[in-house]
Amino acid sequence: MGRPRLNRNLVHVYDVAGRYAISLSAIGSNRARTKTIEQYLNAALVTLPATATHPVPPIG
């Protein structure tokens, strides 16, 4: 499950392959809106060679 971030060019590593929803929230001076699209992202399982380092540091 993702967590809110205030950064650009986010990277998220999923533990399980599958289809995931994405959400984008925008906050303005007098309102906030969120758009969610179900099953938008298809995360695939990638196996790295034993000598490879983790491509992205874990979040959390």
For residue range 29-38, what is the model confidence (pLDDT) as tens digits?
A: 889 999 999 9
Domain extent listing, the chain = 1-45
pTM of the model: 0.50
Beta bridge pairs of residue 34: 25
pLDDT recorded at residue 36: 92
Environment class of residue 20 by beta-carbon count within 10 Å: exposed (0-12), middle (13-18) or buried (19+)? Answer: middle
**In the structure encoding, which two tokens stand for residue 16, read together?**
């399980």
For residue range 1-25, what is the model confidence (pLDDT) as tens digits?
A: 455 556 666 677 788 889 999 888 8
